[in-house]
Chain A
Amino acid sequence: KNQVEQSPQSLIILEGKNCTLQCNYTVSPFSNLRWYKQDTGRGPVSLTIMTFSENTKSNGRYTATLDADTKQSSLHITASQLSDSASYICVVSPYGNNRLAFGKGNQVVVIP
């Protein structure tokens, strides 16, 4: 069964600090992995997408890494801002079908 596990479930960080979110998956065959940011009460918005051959991808202060051998990904947030408070969802796409595998999300709260 294709599964995506994210950790930690939630965390609180001080504004200006860095944090790293983890995603482990068992999806096979693998097509791509995407990190979404979902603000409360809004739809998810894509931050990064990585295919099998990509190890790292950045989008501003967000940097995602992928280790396809160990089936792990991380999302690093640098110099966090209050607007980074959101749920970050790891989504893995199996090759050849439309059924994406979703993690439950990492709930990040940035405090001043």
Chain B
Amino acid sequence: SQTIHQWPATLVQPVGSPLSLECTVEGTSNPNLYWYRQAAGRGLQLLFYSVGIGQISSEVPQNLSASRPQDRQFILSSKKLLLSDSGFYLCAWGGTDTQYFGPGTRLTVL
């Protein structure tokens, strides 16, 4: 069966510090991968998606970036965090029929 992992589970970072969130998927090959952000009281916002290694599509211009160095690994990064980057970050895999979500990372920027 397929499993999706995210880490860390929670993170508290100062403004201006770098960020690296990791997502890995097991049990499937060449999955479509997604990064979402969920702010308090708001719906999920698609940040990036990837259909293959090295292929990244950005949905929202911001100070975040994503990379896919391996087939089942998806990384969300930032060089300098902003207060507005606080939120719940979800990784997902799947396609148009269904998407399966990871457990999420709670990021607080102080």
Q: Do the two chains belong together in a single complex?
A: yes
Partner of B44, one of A31, A32, A34, A89: A89
Q: A32-B97, A96-B96 are known contacts. Are A42 and B104 too (CB-CB below 8 A)?
A: yes
With A and B bound together, what is the CA distance between A101 and B1 in angstroms?
Answer: 26
With A and B bound together, what is the CA distance between A103 and B99 in angstroms?
Answer: 15
Which residues in A have their C-beta under 8 angstroms from that of B90? Answer: 43-44
Which residues in A have their C-beta under 8 angstroms from that of B97? Answer: 31-32, 49, 93
Q: A98-B32, A103-B43, A104-B43 are known contacts. Are A41 and B104 too (CB-CB below 8 A)?
A: yes
With A and B bound together, what is the CA distance between A108 and B66 in angstroms?
Answer: 33
- A17: min CB distance to chain B, Å: 25
**A52 interface hit (Cβ, 8 Å):** no
**B101 interface hit (Cβ, 8 Å):** yes
**B95 interface hit (Cβ, 8 Å):** yes
The number of residues on chain A lying at the interface, defined by a beta carbon within 8 Å of a beta carbon of chain B, is: 25
- A66: min CB distance to chain B, Å: 15
Which residues in A have their C-beta under 8 angstroms from that of B104? Answer: 41-43
- B39: min CB distance to chain A, Å: 10
Find out whether the CB atom of B102 lies under 8 angstroms from the CB atom of A43. yes
Which residues in B have their C-beta under 8 angstroms from that of A89? Answer: 43-44
Which residues in B have their C-beta under 8 angstroms from that of A100? Answer: 46, 99
**A82 interface hit (Cβ, 8 Å):** no
- B4: min CB distance to chain A, Å: 8
**A78 interface hit (Cβ, 8 Å):** no
Q: A43-B103, A44-B101, A45-B101 are known contacts. Are A102 and B96 too (CB-CB below 8 A)?
A: no
With A and B bound together, what is the CA distance between A96 and B99 in angstroms?
Answer: 15
Partner of B103, one of A42, A46, A93, A94: A42
**A97 interface hit (Cβ, 8 Å):** yes
Which residues in A have their C-beta under 8 angstroms from that of B103? Answer: 42-43
* List of 5 A-B pairs having minimum Cβ-Cβ separation, nearest first: A43-B101, A102-B43, A104-B43, A102-B44, A43-B104
A-B contact pairs, 8 of them (CB 8 A): A31-B96, A34-B98, A41-B104, A43-B92, A43-B104, A46-B98, A89-B43, A98-B49
